[in-house]
């Protein structure tokens, strides 16, 4: 599990305090996918709250595993900032580096800092605050019904593609002012899926270009005819964002909403379908969907690790010497299960002080977590209501997690049920 580095960087004797020098752990390999809780425990035991790690291509970084350390890093954006151009490793990063979509600088809210970030995030917050949660629940329910109707008659489904991924994408696109149905919306949804999560044979770059073009068109249409949607509220906001800024931030909103919400839905369904505490028993009593959603955020959070923050200047963290320009990966899943906050080894999901939505200036902007909760809750409840005898079509141990340390979700979630025809 913990490999010695043996990396070319180590051989070239980097300065003391550099993550590579400290003997980085390669973030890769099957064990990371299947039992992350054990992995984080052993990393913490061997390296403490801040572990030296090697990203793809043996690029050194720090993985912040402690609850208080993640809170500290995210709470001090003057020390640990978001603009990836600060990175002291760019000369080692090839253009086709697999993590480029997450670290490659874009002029969006994600990479802005200080006053400029407050301006951009403020517009997003106010635009999202305008979303009526009852309407969102109703729209999400309608999207859920339409997706369920497509497979309800067959008595079986693969819920990741047919439901969990499709639903939040459609809800987010609609929230931004695209019509609920139609080929145009379908094309955007398909292109977003390809650009965020390309399958073999897909062309993510071409899809991403089409997403940009369609969002540009949406912004143009809403400039001419504003409506009751996120895009129009961003356009009308007194901060006066340019159209280009709004296009960038809309893409960030949709992308930031889609993957984590989809995996939140899927991980919650998996929990409810595999854990008897959630099974409907003879007395009809079972733990609620809300409890399952919250437990997933503590124990199986979608955004396991988030890249990241970049040190503004030399500093110390968790006993480590951090150099200006070092990259820090936020170990959100590890922080949630930190024994420092759960000393008796029990992780009690009864409150919501987890770090799954991060913390500080760049946290998932209020009220996005509430909207995600509405979408995820509606998705799970509607499915269980429409298909009440839904069960897994495979043994629980046959479910496979995606090979990613960044996003925790299943490869597929096959289910069966009594066919329903209307
Ligand atoms: C309606 C659904 C959602 C929307 C619209 C949304 C929107 C956003 C946006 C715009 C950001 C960028 C914030 C910034 O850099 O200032 C963000 C960040 C983030 N979101 Fe969300 N999000 C949604 C759902 C979720 C869910 C379900 C999760 C996880 C359970 C999540 C976890 C995060 C995390 C970890 C970050 C990174 C924060 C950081 O850099 O510290 N989001 N989200």
How far apart are the CA of 120 and the centre of ligand 1, in A?
14
> Using 50, 70 and 90 to split pLDDT, how confident is the model at 285?
low
Please state, rounded to an integer, the average pLDDT across all residues of the chain. Answer: 89
* Placement of tokens 């403020």 in the chain: 122
Of the two residues 277 and 127, the one the predictor is more confident about is 127
How far apart are the CA of 248 and the centre of ligand 1, in A?
15
What ligand 1 atom has the least distance to the C-alpha of 111?
15
pLDDT above 90 for 193: no
pLDDT above 80 for 10: no
Asked if residue 43 lies in contact with residue 63, where contact means CB atoms within 8 angstroms, the answer is yes
pLDDT above 80 for 343: no
DSSP string, 64-81: E--HHHHHHHHH-TTTEE
How far apart are the CA of 94 and the centre of ligand 1, in A?
27
> Using 50, 70 and 90 to split pLDDT, how confident is the model at 341?
confident
Mean pLDDT throughout 320-342? Answer: 95
What ligand 1 atom has the least distance to the C-alpha of 362?
16
DSSP string, 216-248: HHHHHHHHHS--SSHHHHHHHSTT---HHHHHH
Asked if residue 301 lies in contact with residue 354, where contact means CB atoms within 8 angstroms, the answer is yes
Residue 41: count other Cβ atoms within 10 Å of its Cβ: 17
Q: Which two tokens stand for residue 292?
A: 């399952």
Q: What is the DSSP letter of 24?
A: P
pLDDT above 80 for 18: no
pTM for the model stands at 0.92
How far apart are the CA of 180 and the centre of ligand 1, in A?
23
What is the predicted pLDDT for the residue at 183?
A: 86
Q: What is the DSSP letter of 164?
A: I
State the DSSP H helix or E strand holding residue 25, giving kind and residue range, or none if neither. strand 25-26
Q: What is the DSSP letter of 407?
A: B
> Using 50, 70 and 90 to split pLDDT, how confident is the model at 282?
very low
Mean pLDDT throughout 39-66? Answer: 92
How far apart are the CA of 342 and the centre of ligand 1, in A?
25
Show the ligand 1 pocket: residues with CB < 6 angstroms.
74, 109-110, 121, 124, 252-253, 256-257, 260-261, 264, 297, 301-303, 306, 332, 356-358, 362-365, 368, 371-372
How far apart are the CA of 253 and the centre of ligand 1, in A?
8
Q: Which two tokens stand for residue 107?
A: 């002029």
Residues in the chain: 422
Please choose from 135, 248, 256, 264 the residue to mutate so as to test ligand 1's pocket, defined by most ligand atoms within 8 A of CB: 256
Asked if residue 305 lies in contact with residue 331, where contact means CB atoms within 8 angstroms, the answer is yes
SS3 59: strand
What ligand 1 atom has the least distance to the C-alpha of 376?
27
Smallest CA-to-CA distance from 114 within 71, 73, 74, 81 is with: 81
What is the predicted pLDDT for the residue at 12?
A: 35
DSSP string, 293-353: HHHHHHHS-SB-SEEEEEESS-EEETTEEEPTT-EEEE-HHHHHT-TTTSTTS---TTS--
> pLDDT for 216-245, tens place per residue?
999 999 999 999 999 999 999 999 999 999
> pLDDT for 319-329, tens place per residue?
999 999 999 99
What is the predicted pLDDT for the residue at 31?
A: 59
Mean pLDDT throughout 334-353? Answer: 83
By CB atoms closer than 10 A (0-12, 13-18, 19+), residue 242 is exposed
Mean pLDDT throughout 324-350? Answer: 88
> Using 50, 70 and 90 to split pLDDT, how confident is the model at 266?
very high
> Using 50, 70 and 90 to split pLDDT, how confident is the model at 20?
very low
Of the two residues 87 and 287, the one the predictor is more confident about is 87
d(CA 228, CA 249) in angstroms, rounded, equals 18
Angle of helix 183-196 relative to helix 204-224, nearest 10 degrees? Answer: 140
Q: Which two tokens stand for residue 145?
A: 């019904």
Q: Which two tokens stand for residue 358?
A: 């991060």
Smallest CA-to-CA distance from 28 within 50, 49, 59 is with: 59
Q: Which protein residue's CA is at the shortest distance from atom 31 of ligand 1?
A: 357
Domain boundaries, the chain: 8-416
CA atoms within 13 A of residue 301's CA, in its CB half-sphere: 25
Mean pLDDT throughout 154-163? Answer: 96
pLDDT above 70 for 200: yes
**Cα→Cα distances 120→107, 246, 291, 389, Å:** 11, 9, 33, 46
CATH superfamily of domain region 8-416 = Cytochrome P450 (1.10.630.10)
% the chain with pLDDT above 90: 69
Mean pLDDT throughout 64-82? Answer: 97
């Amino acid at each position: 599990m913990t490999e010695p580095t043996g990396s070319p960087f180590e051989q070239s004797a980097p300065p003391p305090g550099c993550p590579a020098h400290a003997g980085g752990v390669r973030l890769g390999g099957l064990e990371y996918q299947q039992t992350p809780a054990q992995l984080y425990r052993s990393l913490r035991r061997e390296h403490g709250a801040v572990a030296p790690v090697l990203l793809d291509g043996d690029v050194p970084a720090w993985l912040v595993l402690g609850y208080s350390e993640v809170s500290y890093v995210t709470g001090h954006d003057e020390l640990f900032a978001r603009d990836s151009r600060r990175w002291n490793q760019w000369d080692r990063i090839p253009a086709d580096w697999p993590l480029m979509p997450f670290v490659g600088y874009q002029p969006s809210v994600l990479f802005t800092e200080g006053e400029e970030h407050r301006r951009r995030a403020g517009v997003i917050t106010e635009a999202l605050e305008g979303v009526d949660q009852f309407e969102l629940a109703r729209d999400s329910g309608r999207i859920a019904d339409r997706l369920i109707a497509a497979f309800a008659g067959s008595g079986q489904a693969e819920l990741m593609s047919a439901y969990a991924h499709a639903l939040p994408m459609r809800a987010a696109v609609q929230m931004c002012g695209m019509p609920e149905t139609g080929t145009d919306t379908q094309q955007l949804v398909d292109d977003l899926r390809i650009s965020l999560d390309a399958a073999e044979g897909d062309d993510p770059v071409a899809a991403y270009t089409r997403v940009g073009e369609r969002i540009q068109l949406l912004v143009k249409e809403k400039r001419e005819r504003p409506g009751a949607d996120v895009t129009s509220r961003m356009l009308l906001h007194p901060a006066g964002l340019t159209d280009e800024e709004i296009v960038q931030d809309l893409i960030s909103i949709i992308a930031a909403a889609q993957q984590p919400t989809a995996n939140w839905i899927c991980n919650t369904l998996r929990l409810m379908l595999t854990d008897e505490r959630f099974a409907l028993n003879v007395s009809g009593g079972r733990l609620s969907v809300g409890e399952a959603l919250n437990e997933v955020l503590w124990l199986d959070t979608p955004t396991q690790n988030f890249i990241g923050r970049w040190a503004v200047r030399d500093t110390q963290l968790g006993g480590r010497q951090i150099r200006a320009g070092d990259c820090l990966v936020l170990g959100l899943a590890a922080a949630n299960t930190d024994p420092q906050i759960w000393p008796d080894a029990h992780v009690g999901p009864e409150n919501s002080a987890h770090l799954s939505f991060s913390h500080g200036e760049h946290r998932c902007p209020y009220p996005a977590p509430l909207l995600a909760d509405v979408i995820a809750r509606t998705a799970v409840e509607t499915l269980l209501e429409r298909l009440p005898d839904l069960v897994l079509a495979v043994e629980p141990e046959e479910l496979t997690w995606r090979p990613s340390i960044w996003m925790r979700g299943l490869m597929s979630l096959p289910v069966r049920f009594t066919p329903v025809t209307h």
